[in-house]
Amino acid sequence: MTDPLHTPHDRAAIPLAPSLDPSLIDAHMPTRLPLLGTRVLRIGALAILLGLVVGGIAKGLTMLIGLITNLAFHQTWSTAFGRPTGHHLGAWVIVVPAFGGLVVGAMARWGSRAIRGHGIPEAMEQVLTNESRIPARMTWLKPLSSAVAIGTGGPFGAEGPIIATGGALGSLLGQRLPVTADERKTLLAAGAAAGMAAIFSAPVSAVLLSIELLLFERRARSMLPVALAAATGTGVRFALEGPGPVFPMPALAAVAPQALIVYALLGVVMGVAGVFITRLAYAVEDAFEKLPIHWMWWPALGGIVVGAVGYVMPETLGVGYENITAVISGHLGLMAMAWLAAAKLLSWSVALGSGTSGGTLAPLFTVGGALGGVCGLALAAWPPLHVDPNMAALIGMAALFAGASRALMTSAVFVFETTMQPHALLPLLAACTTAYLVSGLMMRHTIMTEKIARRGVHVPTDFGVVP
């Protein structure tokens, strides 16, 4: 007997919820899912090429930073990715970041003002207002200015400049070839993802960062090329640097239920800290705006503060990836982490507010990890909570960035990929979610969007249906 509810025609397309039909029609949803089309193959091939090129640029940028660092602080000619610590400059170390700031200020004035800042907001603005068109000169001005700023002691990571450079290179490729504005945006995001993946060996979080902060959508025709570029960039890093986590640490144990609750509450604390840090960074920037001197000189003034802090605490100078490893591995005590968090925050906020060139991810991870480690050591005094200070440091890293940027999934997955700690995934997700929630309730814009929102640019926060 034939079932009247299951005719051959109905079996081809049975509505799961008939009440949704009017909504689907209003949203212009297609009745049949379209094929991807051959243009996705073309953009994907270009994305792979971008990944190869940007992966090589990432290696070149780290070598350039190493060269400038070794020349400025150790007077040696070497491209090894060295540290500013261990120098013999004494109080003269204060002058080094100021000189770097002076060079960056001159490059910004007579090269391009767009090199100022950490790069991601500027890329977002071009996506939202200029059809993803970034000037060609940014492909060399941004990495060069950032290498000078970081190599002379600027408290930034190398990831921000290479993300901006990769995005600029993708945009340039999209301007030179006959592609649509959407495809140019995809190439921009692909270049940025390849840059982040090549620096951190974090391909999945690089894709998520592009979705959450650059693409403002999740469609196969844009996500697939970005994923190909991120995978290629990571492959280049593996070939040049070898596999393995960027921030190695001792293995973490599974999380007890009561500890999971504590880590979720720690996310609340980090969400509040993310709001505070965002407001602090822009308050410093506003203070520089009121100075009665040309903005070209601001990075040099900020460099004096960076040098003074670095004279007292040399660990704040430069990229500082080794600080992150020390924090999450339990190599620092409570007071050492507290001082590191305070000093790095002061140095970074002044440097960023002065308009120099550098990234935000590594400084926020350093500050967040140190704050989380401090909380973890304090809470470990109560054994029934089963809090692991190293896990708390990981939570602090991710949750602070989630609260400041609201890149929720990027934050959680990034810390997992860079440490390879599977037991951390659940508490990371819980803490990043609570941090995002607190940030969203307390702050309208984020550290990534406040600058462009002040210029009248509307930044979408939710994904909608794309016809």
| Long-range CB pairs of 284-293, under 8 A, 24+ apart, other chains included | 284/349, 284/350, 284/352, 284/353, 284/354, 285/352, 285/353, 285/355, 287/353, 288/353, 288/354, 288/355
The pLDDT score that the predictor gives to residue 418 is 93
* Rg over CA atoms, the chain: 23
> Lowest mean pLDDT: which of 386-395, 398-407, 448-457?
448-457
The pLDDT score that the predictor gives to residue 449 is 81
Give the number of other CB atoms < 10 A from CB of residue 175: 16
What pLDDT digit, counting tens, does each position of 192-209 carry? 999 999 999 999 999 999
DSSP label of 136: T
Six token digits for residue 438:
């607190």
CB 391 within 8 A of CB 252: yes
Say how far apart CA 145 and CA 238 lie, in whole Å: 26
SS3 content of the chain, % helix, strand, coil (to 5): 70, 0, 30
Bigger pLDDT: 414 vs 454: 414
Residue 162 clears pLDDT 90, i.e. is over it: no
The pLDDT score that the predictor gives to residue 25 is 57
Give the number of other CB atoms < 10 A from CB of residue 398: 31
Say how far apart CA 60 and CA 260 lie, in whole Å: 41
CB 105 within 8 A of CB 296: yes
The pLDDT score that the predictor gives to residue 276 is 95
What pLDDT digit, counting tens, does each position of 4-58 carry? 444 444 444 444 455 555 655 555 555 565 667 788 899 999 999 999 999 999 9
The pLDDT score that the predictor gives to residue 373 is 95
What pLDDT digit, counting tens, does each position of 296-343 carry? 999 999 999 999 999 999 999 988 889 999 999 999 999 999 999 999
| Long-range CB pairs of 444-448, under 8 A, 24+ apart, other chains included | 446/278, 446/404, 446/405, 446/406, 447/274, 447/277, 447/278, 447/281, 447/360, 447/404, 447/405, 448/120, 448/121, 448/124, 448/213, 448/405, 448/407
Give the number of other CB atoms < 10 A from CB of residue 363: 28
Say how far apart CA 450 and CA 432 lie, in whole Å: 20
